[in-house]
């Protein structure tokens, strides 16, 4: 490419160049077979080996114990939002759910179809600009559900809450492998891959073995996690290409030094961008400082600099100003407005520095 482009999209999002090149080559010839990975049987040995390797990469990078199963599925988290309570929550049982953003709210809504739901906290009235950590937990909850990172609003659980009873379940879609977590602290971790570890089309579920088979309902075959565990992720045709893209992304991360190394880089990137926002005379962050996300950074114009009447016009101007410098996909979500920079694992620190420089130059442009 003649001009470098930095993609700050919240998802589908930036992936390592190395992984993209390897995935691209596999579309023509996978594993020197002369066959595209897109037209290779999922029952073939090369694909079976690739799935096994991908699972092992995950186990190594996250330290996943042997008493946890790993399931790769299509359908996105929107499907998992119902599969989780369908498989884990009995009709007369209660689950605690934290309402910290749009996706947390959607998960909560689906859970109500299968059992009793206690809303342990909600910051909806404050446009989800912080995380309420004073949870009102049930005495007998089957599990506590959290959304680890809230992509739209730029908030993140920096210290995971502990359930009063039962086990912890976390949707980690947008901070998978961005920081070290102790998998044993969770009964289940799940998420869509298109934010941080692959392209769209595959989800990852990490489930403690002793938790399944405990509900009294009949679960449709395809919606039963045990179906896919027993079938070694090959019960039906799986999203092979998305899993291979994950495989190459995990290999890249392993070569980088693993999660500990990437977390250090992620914290440096976030500190760089948040420092620029806090020092700016034009921009201001929207998330509470103590809950700021390492992955998604929303910010807006200061009201005393840009009036509400001028906001739309100026926002478009800054987006075009940034685009001219190769900084794309920074428009904020409509519920927050302004701008959002998603700085996932594959976003280099050079990209964040380029955005910081751009913000500084724009400030000079409008303030003189």
Question: Which residues carry out catalysis?
Answer: 103, 171, 195
Q: Would you give the distance in Å from CA 165 to the centre of its chain? A: 26
Q: Would you give the distance in Å from CA 38 to the centre of its chain? A: 25
Contact present, 141 and 100 (Cβ < 8 Å) = no
Q: Concatenated DSSP letters for 167-199?
A: EEEEE-TTTTTTS---GGG-SEEEEESTTTTS-
Residue with tokens 């400030």: 363
Helix residue ranges, H only, the chain: 17-26, 45-62, 76-88, 102-111, 225-230, 240-256, 258-279, 308-323, 349-367
Pairing verdict, β 296-301 and 283-285:
antiparallel
**H/E stretch holding 156:** strand 155-156
Helix residue ranges, H only, 175-307: 225-230, 240-256, 258-279
CB atoms within 10 A of CB 28: 11
- The CA distance from 241 to 339, in Å, is 32
Contact present, 295 and 149 (Cβ < 8 Å) = yes
Q: 232-264: b or e for each residue (b if 16 or more CB lie within 10 Å)?
A: ebeeeebbbbbbbbbbbbbbbbeeeebbeebbe
Q: Which of 263, 264, 66 is nearest to 181 (CA)?
A: 263
Within 8 A by CB and 6+ apart from 83, the residues are 223, 225
- The CA distance from 66 to 198, in Å, is 24
């Amino acid at each position: 490419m003649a001009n470098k482009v930095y993609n700050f999209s919240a998802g589908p999002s930036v992936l390592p160049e190395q992984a993209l090149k390897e995935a691209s080559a596999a579309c023509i010839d996978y594993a020197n077979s002369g066959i595209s990975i897109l037209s290779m049987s999922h029952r073939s040995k090369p694909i079976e080996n690739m799935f096994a390797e991908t699972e092992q990469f995950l186990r190594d990078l996250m330290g996943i114990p042997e008493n946890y199963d790993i399931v790769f599925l299509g359908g996105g988290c929107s499907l998992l939002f119902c599969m989780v309570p369908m498989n884990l929550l009995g009709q007369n049982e209660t689950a605690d759910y934290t309402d910290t953003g749009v996706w947390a709210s959607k998960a909560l809504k689906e859970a109500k179809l299968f059992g009793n739901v206690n809303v342990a906290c909600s910051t909806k009235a404050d446009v989800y600009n912080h995380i309420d950590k004073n949870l009102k937990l049930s005495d007998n909850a089957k599990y506590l559900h959290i959304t680890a990172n809230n992509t739209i609003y730029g908030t993140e659980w920096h210290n995971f809450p502990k359930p009063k009873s039962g086990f912890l379940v976390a949707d980690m879609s947008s901070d998978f492998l961005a920081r070290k977590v102790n998998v044993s602290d969770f009964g289940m971790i799940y998420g869509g891959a298109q934010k941080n570890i692959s392209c769209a089309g595959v989800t990852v579920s990490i489930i403690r073995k002793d938790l399944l088979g405990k509900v009294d309902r009949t679960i449709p075959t395809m919606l039963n996690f045990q179906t896919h565990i027993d079938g070694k992720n090959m019960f039906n045709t799986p999203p092979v290409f998305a899993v291979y893209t994950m495989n190459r992304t995990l290999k890249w991360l392993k070569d980088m030094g693993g999660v500990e190394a990437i977390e250090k880089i992620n914290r440096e990137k976030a500190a760089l961008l948040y420092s620029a926002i806090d020092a700016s005379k034009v921009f201001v962050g929207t998330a509470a400082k103590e809950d700021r996300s390492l992955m998604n950074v929303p910010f807006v114009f200061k009201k005393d600099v840009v009036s509400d009447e001028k906001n739309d016009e100026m926002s478009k101007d800054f987006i075009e100003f940034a685009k001219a410098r190769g900084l794309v996909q920074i428009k904020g979500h409509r519920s927050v407005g302004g701008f959002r920079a998603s700085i996932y694992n594959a976003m280099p620190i050079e990209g964040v520095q380029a955005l910081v420089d751009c913000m500084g130059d724009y400030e000079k442009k409008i303030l003189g």
